[in-house]
Amino acid sequence: MSSVDERLACKPADYKSDIKPIWCPGCGDYHVLMSFTRAFAELGLPPERIVVVSGIGCSSRIPAYTNCYGFHGVHGRSLALGAGLKVTRPDLTVVVASGDGDGYSIGGNHFLHACRRNIDMTYVVMDNHIYGMTKGQPSPTTEPEFDTALSPGGTGLRPFHPLAVALASGANFVARCFSGEPNETASILVEAIRHPGFSFVEILSPCVTFRPDEREWKNLVHRAPVAATSDPARAARRIMTDDGFNLGILYRGDRKPYQPAVGHTSIDLSELEKDFEL
Amino acid sequence: MKDSQSISIAFVGSGGAGALTAGNFLLEAACAAGWQGLLTRSVGPQIRGGEAAALVRLATHSIECMPEQFDVLIGIDWLNAQRFGAEIEVGPQSLVIGDPRGGALPPRVAAAGARVVSVPMKDMAKAIPDGRTNMIAFGIAGKLLGLSQDVCSALLAKRLGDKGQAAIEASQAGLQAGYDSLRDLEFNLRLAPPKQSATKRWLVSGNEMTALGAVRGGIRFAAAYPITPATEILEWLAPNLVKAGGALLQAEDELAAINMIIGASYGGTPSLTATSGPGLSLMIEALGLATAAEIPLVIIDVMRGGPSTGIPTKSEQADLNIAVYGCHGDAPHLVLAPQSVGDCLFTTQWAVHLAEALQTPAIVLSDQFIGQARAAIGRPADVAFVGQRRTASDIGSAAGAYRRYAIAGSGVSPMALPGTPGGQYTADGLTHNERGVPTSAASDHEAQLDKRQHKLERFAYGDHWATIEGDGDLAVVTWGSLTGVAREAIGRVNRDGVEASLLAPRLLFPAQPAGLAAALEGKKRVLVVEQSHGGQFHRYLRAHYDLPGVVKVLNRPGPLPIRASEIHRAIMQWRS
């Protein structure tokens, strides 16, 4: 472990790798990466004690762009992979990164159960309301009238409400951020990582290539007018009635994280055989 | 009265009637008295109202399969017994015991020419407060086999201890009534006295042995989704992993289960999941990820009838193709198969060792037959196979110097575990270079495919890769749970004065062509035996091996087991 003094010396650049991102110029995810490195530096965590886990999609490329340990797994399963890692290595800081397709569509079931399980890790979803890597198909958060080649005239479907789902499923910390405000996002990530249990941070992160209209998001976002609540009923009302651009920590619960005791006991394995003896 | 070296007895009843309990009690009492025994189960899919059978074979020697005909068949009732069809055969020498109020004898049983005796088990049970019909059946079986009633009675006290004294006494009264009911019956078979055994003996299921083998091999984390017939592995691991300092997570589905163990193994904890065919199908994408990212893990597949939902409660050997070839892309990984209830321990332990040593997934193809069978076995020897992974603990401080997927001679490159300073890398399912950085360059792609193929090919697996026994110019080539059946068939062939050999690979992938060529050198006839409609094992052999001489295939789908008598007949007919 690094000493306290060394930790204080951490700079955001210490958490960035030498790999050049594949993201388009202007992609919101560059700012998310900046928020990650700023948050890690503020937390003073040695890079080798952080693991960034992801699935598939533009946003899921983020692990290799950090100087932390990383796992770029299959589409939609990053929360399960992160859960197995955190349960067996509670000493590590686990951050799971995803997008609206990876996290809410193919990985939707794992989202529910990760919230319910409440393992101490942080789940960051970079939401751009579109599938970018496959060139512009509708995601669960795409507006119903948004026209794409795969959904001529729009899907006509009501968008998924990730924050409401997270709250209802048992997430212990729910926040919304905007990638264009990397300092504020970094501060919320610091709180999310520090908060025990499953922390869910939705980051609105524009896709300027397939959703140029999302350049307007910077004019639409606004800070939540009141402080975070620990009352799920109040949080639910706030989340269900806001305009989708309300930023900040919207719920902060106190549910005990799930963490089995691992590595603490070790018995003589022959004791396990006793039940088998005739 | 003649002493027999082996007696078989089947209990059938509708689901919930207690046939399995009666069979298990009989097995345990006989084994406690010193005999060897095997119990397999055949049940319908319903929890209540279906059909259940406990097939018990007791012997003076170790046994690995069921006979073609049962000496005794006890119908606690006959309500759904016709559904077993040919799975439970009786003949003119058999004794069938039924309850006059238990429904009509199944036509197949009635036509067999067996002696049929009526015992009013239901009425006898009714006469005992809280009496159970299956305890009467247990008593009848104990009496017929010449088991000491005291041993059976003591077993009831031990097994029903947590249900209270009243329950024990009710069961003991039922047992007594069963023993008394056949006082005047002439039954000419009796088990020969047991041989004394010097070694400690266990009464276990294949699934329990799989679970113990996993823990002995070093598994400390499991994640899984419940599925028949693999659930007993998980239920054994849940408390026992905790005792061993590990943990089990019940996942939301099999997709999550395998990804959870990939995460845990990436963190350095040897990890396992257990499932059956439908679950393995769901896990295949992540199996490819673990192969590409070089993450060791063990997947137990307790095979059942397929495809699709198939026959969840009954055995088949038809997951070989998906286990070996299921992944997209070229994704070589380990595939192994245990050969008996006891061998589930060794093969699983060895699989953990191999997976960890080679940093790759291992699939262990058990099946419902041995997984849910219970057998008396000698305590399996302790073996030294424990998972030992090459890790990178001392890494130079130069930034980016560590190469997770370095091309080394053996193909196995040291793995940095999270927490190791300077070892940071991103494990990736994307084609990557030696550092782990994604690439689409042809040279990197081929180099890493070569690396992963070479590490499997260059490893010295030793003699454990196959069971090779016997002589003669005819070889029976089989695998998995049919190994014991083939062994019994060859024993009978030998007693008929004919030689035959047995070859059963425990390691199915990577194939061992040199080992097989040596084992089959000079053979003129090869009889391939497998429980698969499509002949998957035969096709696998043809794809990976040169088979000498003339090859014949004895195969059929589950759940009707291939009998030793069929293999015996196939060999003898081929000889003449």
What tens digit of pLDDT does each residue of A45-91 get?
Answer: 999 999 999 999 999 999 999 999 999 999 999 999 999 999 999 99
Task: Report how far apart, in Å, the C-alpha atoms of B474 and of each of B225, B501, B520 are.
Answer: 43, 6, 9
Look up residue B323 and give its two tokens.
């286990």
- For domain B2-191, give the CATH number: 3.40.920.10
Q: A132-170: b or e for each residue (b if 16 or more CB lie within 10 Å)?
A: bbeebbbbbbbeeebebeebeeebeeebbbbbebbbebb
CA distance B468 to B20: 35
Q: Which residue in B257, B293, B424 is closest to A69 by CB distance? A: B424
Which stretches of B219-266 are assigned E, i.e. beta strand? 221-224, 247-250
Count of CB atoms situated within 10 Å of the CB of B499: 14
Q: Which residue in B201, B244, B246 is closest to A278 by CB distance? A: B201
Question: Could you tell me the residue range of the domain that residue A84 belongs to?
Answer: 28-276
Contact at CB, A49 and B247, closer than 8 angstroms:
no
CA distance A10 to B222: 36
Residue B204 at interface with chain A, using a CB cutoff of 8 Å: yes
Please provide residue B57's backbone torsions phi and psi, each rounded to the nearest 5 degrees: -125, 125
Residue A3 lies in a domain: no
Sign of CA dihedral A42, A44, A45, A47: positive
Closest CA to A100 of A152, A59, A71: A59
Chain B's closest residue to A264, CA to CA, is: B245
Residue A272 at interface with chain B, using a CB cutoff of 8 Å: yes
The answer regarding whether domain B462-575 maps to CATH 3.40.50.920 reads yes
Burial class (CB in 10 A: 0-12, 13-18, 19+), A246: middle
Give the containing element (helix H, strand E) for B282. Answer: helix B277-293
Q: Judge whether A65 and B246 are in contact, CB under 8 Å.
A: no
Contact at CB, B263 and A109, closer than 8 angstroms:
no
The number of C-beta contacts closer than 8 angstroms across A and B is 191
3-state secondary structure of A234: helix
Residue B432 at interface with chain A, using a CB cutoff of 8 Å: no
Count of CB atoms situated within 10 Å of the CB of B498: 17
Question: Residues of A numbered 96-115 whose beta carbons fall under 8 angstroms of chain B's beta carbons: which are they?
Answer: 109-110, 112-113
Q: Which residues of A touch B438 (CB under 8 A)?
A: 64, 72
CA distance B313 to B63: 22
Q: Judge whether B40 and B378 are in contact, CB under 8 Å.
A: no
Chain A's closest residue to B378, CA to CA, is: A277
Residue A6 at interface with chain B, using a CB cutoff of 8 Å: no
What tens digit of pLDDT does each residue of A173-206 get?
Answer: 999 999 999 999 999 999 999 999 999 999 999 9
CA distance B205 to B377: 10
CA distance B100 to A41: 81
Q: What residues have CB less than 8 Å from B23, skipping those under 6 apart?
A: B11, B39, B41, B54, B55, B56
Contact at CB, B216 and A269, closer than 8 angstroms:
yes
Q: Which residues of B touch A37 (CB under 8 A)?
A: none
Helices and strands in chain A: count of H runs, count of E runs? 10, 8
Count of CB atoms situated within 10 Å of the CB of B193: 12
Q: What is the CATH number of the domain that holds A208?
A: 3.40.50.970
Contact at CB, B400 and A18, closer than 8 angstroms:
yes
**Distance, in angstroms, between B204 CA and closest chain A CA?**
6
Domains B203-378 and B462-575 share a fold: yes
Q: Judge whether B426 and A70 are in contact, CB under 8 Å.
A: yes
Contact at CB, B425 and A69, closer than 8 angstroms:
yes
Q: Judge whether B220 and A87 are in contact, CB under 8 Å.
A: no
- ∠ Cα B359 B365 B367 (to 5°): 155
Residue A181 lies in a domain: yes
Contact at CB, A272 and B215, closer than 8 angstroms:
yes
Q: Which residue in A70, A83, A277 is closest to B426 by CB distance? A: A70
Q: Going edge to edge, which strands form the sheet with A93-99?
A: A222-223, A246-252, A173-178, A199-204, A122-127, A93-99, A50-54, A69-72, B426-428
Residue B271 at interface with chain A, using a CB cutoff of 8 Å: yes
Please list the rounded mean pLDDT of every run of 10 residues in chain B (576 residues).
90 94 97 95 84 96 92 95 92 96 94 96 96 97 94 96 95 97 86 86 97 97 98 97 96 98 98 98 98 98 97 97 98 98 98 98 98 95 91 73 92 96 96 97 98 97 98 97 97 96 98 97 97 98 97 97 96 89
Chain B's closest residue to A1, CA to CA, is: B419
* Alpha carbon A100 to its chain's center: 10
Is residue A260 reached through a cis peptide bond, with omega within 30 degrees of 0 on the bond before it?
A: no
Residue A264 at interface with chain B, using a CB cutoff of 8 Å: yes
Predicted confidence at residue A3, as pLDDT, reads: 43
Q: Which residues of A touch B220 (CB under 8 A)?
A: 88, 262-263
pLDDT of A104 strictly over 70: yes
Residue A262 at interface with chain B, using a CB cutoff of 8 Å: yes
Contact at CB, A88 and B286, closer than 8 angstroms:
no
3-state secondary structure of B97: strand
B509: which strand partners?
A: B335
Look up residue B351 and give its two tokens.
């699989």
Contact at CB, B399 and A82, closer than 8 angstroms:
no
Sign of CA dihedral A253, A255, A256, A257: negative
3-state secondary structure of B103: coil
Q: Which residues of A touch B251 (CB under 8 A)?
A: 80, 113
Burial class (CB in 10 A: 0-12, 13-18, 19+), B453: middle
Question: Helix, strand, coil shares of chain A as percentages rounded to 5?
Answer: 40, 20, 45
Look up residue B89 and give its two tokens.
């055969």
Residue A34 at interface with chain B, using a CB cutoff of 8 Å: no
Contact at CB, B245 and A113, closer than 8 angstroms:
no
Q: Judge whether B222 and B257 are in contact, CB under 8 Å.
A: no
Helix axes B19-32, B133-145, angle to 10 degrees: 30
Predicted confidence at residue B187, as pLDDT, reads: 87
pLDDT of A27 strictly over 50: yes
Chain B's closest residue to A259, CA to CA, is: B247
Contact at CB, B286 and A85, closer than 8 angstroms:
no
Is residue B505 reached through a cis peptide bond, with omega within 30 degrees of 0 on the bond before it?
A: no
Question: Residues of A numbered 155-214 whose beta carbons fall under 8 angstroms of chain B's beta carbons: which are they?
Answer: none
Please provide residue A171's backbone torsions phi and psi, each rounded to the nearest 5 degrees: -60, 145
Residue B395 at interface with chain A, using a CB cutoff of 8 Å: no
Q: B104-119: b or e for each residue (b if 16 or more CB lie within 10 Å)?
A: ebbeebeebebebeeb
A249: which strand partners?
A: A175
Contact at CB, B245 and A265, closer than 8 angstroms:
yes
For residue B24, give the amino acid letter: N
Predicted confidence at residue B197, as pLDDT, reads: 78
3-state secondary structure of B228: coil
Burial class (CB in 10 A: 0-12, 13-18, 19+), B548: middle
Contact at CB, B285 and A74, closer than 8 angstroms:
yes
Residue A260 at interface with chain B, using a CB cutoff of 8 Å: yes
Contact at CB, A84 and B223, closer than 8 angstroms:
yes
Count of CB atoms situated within 10 Å of the CB of B410: 13
pLDDT of A8 strictly over 60: no
Chosen for mutation from A75, A85, A92, A96 (greatest number of chain B CBs closer than 10 Å) is: A85
- ∠ Cα A35 A40 A42 (to 5°): 95
Contact at CB, A85 and B267, closer than 8 angstroms:
yes
What residue spans define the domains of chain B?
2-191, 203-378, 462-575
CA distance B304 to B481: 12
For residue A158, give the amino acid letter: R
**Distance, in angstroms, between A55 CA and closest chain B CA?**
10
Residue with tokens 């198939």: B310
Contact at CB, B261 and A84, closer than 8 angstroms:
yes
Q: Which residues of A touch B246 (CB under 8 A)?
A: 88, 262
Q: What residues have CB less than 8 Å from A52, skipping those under 6 apart?
A: A36, A62, A63, A66, A68, A69, A70, A71, A95, A96, A97, B426
**Distance, in angstroms, between B263 CA and closest chain A CA?**
4
Contact at CB, A81 and B252, closer than 8 angstroms:
no
CA distance A110 to A107: 6
Task: Report how far apart, in Å, the C-alpha atoms of B209 and of each of A272, B56, B232, B378, B433 are.
Answer: 11, 19, 10, 12, 40
For chain B, the straight-line distance linking the first and the last C-alpha, in angstroms and rounded, comes to 36
For chain A, the straight-line distance linking the first and the last C-alpha, in angstroms and rounded, comes to 49
Q: Which residues of B touch A260 (CB under 8 A)?
A: 242, 247
- Please give the tally of structural domains in chain A: 1
Contact at CB, B426 and A72, closer than 8 angstroms:
yes
Sign of CA dihedral B70, B75, B78, B84: negative
Look up residue A58 and give its two tokens.
């533009």
* Alpha carbon A183 to its chain's center: 17
Chain A's closest residue to B216, CA to CA, is: A269
Q: Which residue in B215, B240, B260 is closest to A81 by CB distance? A: B260
Q: What residues have CB less than 8 Å from B507, skipping those under 6 apart?
A: B334, B335, B336, B461, B464, B465, B466
Q: What is the DSSP letter of B311?
A: B
Count of CB atoms situated within 10 Å of the CB of B483: 28
**Distance, in angstroms, between A152 CA and closest chain B CA?**
31
Contact at CB, A88 and B420, closer than 8 angstroms:
no
Look up residue B357 and give its two tokens.
């040593």
> Given 3.40.190.10, 3.40.50.970, 2.60.40.1230, 3.30.1380.20, which CATH number is that of B203-378?
3.40.50.970
Q: Which residue in B202, B285, B427 is closest to A277 by CB distance? A: B202
